[in-house]
Amino acid sequence: MTPIRSNQSLKSIFGITLMAAALGLTACSTSPDTDPDVQARQDSMKNWGDAMGVMGDMAKAPDTFDADVFKEQAAFLAEDASTPWSHFENQESMGNATEAVWTNPEGFTAEAEKFQQVTTDLNAAAQTAASMDDVKPAFGEVGATCKSCHTDFKAETN
Applying CB under 6 A, the residues found at the interface with ligand HEC are: 38, 41-42, 45-46, 48-49, 52, 95-97, 101, 108, 111-112, 115, 142, 145-146, 149-150, 153-154
Work out how close the CB of 51 gets to ligand HEC at its nearest, in angstroms, rounded to a whole number.
Answer: 7
Complex with ligand HEC: residue 125 or 149, whichever CB lies closer: 149
Nearest-5° Cα angle at 75, 111 to 50:
75
Cα separation, 146 vs 75, whole angstroms? 17
58 close to 64: Cβ distance less than 8 angstroms? yes
Query: DSSP secondary-structure letter at 12?
Result: S
Q: Single out the residue of 154, 71, 75 nearest to residue 108, CA to CA.
A: 154
User: Minimum distance from CB of 59 to ligand HEC (Å)?
Assistant: 13
> Toward ligand HEC, which CB reaches closer, 60 or 63?
60
Q: Which is nearer to ligand HEC, 42 or 120 (CB)?
A: 42
- Of 41 and 90, which CB lies nearer to ligand HEC in the complex structure? 41
Minimum Å distance from CB 52 to ligand HEC?
A: 4
Q: How many CB atoms lie within 10 A of CB 41?
A: 21
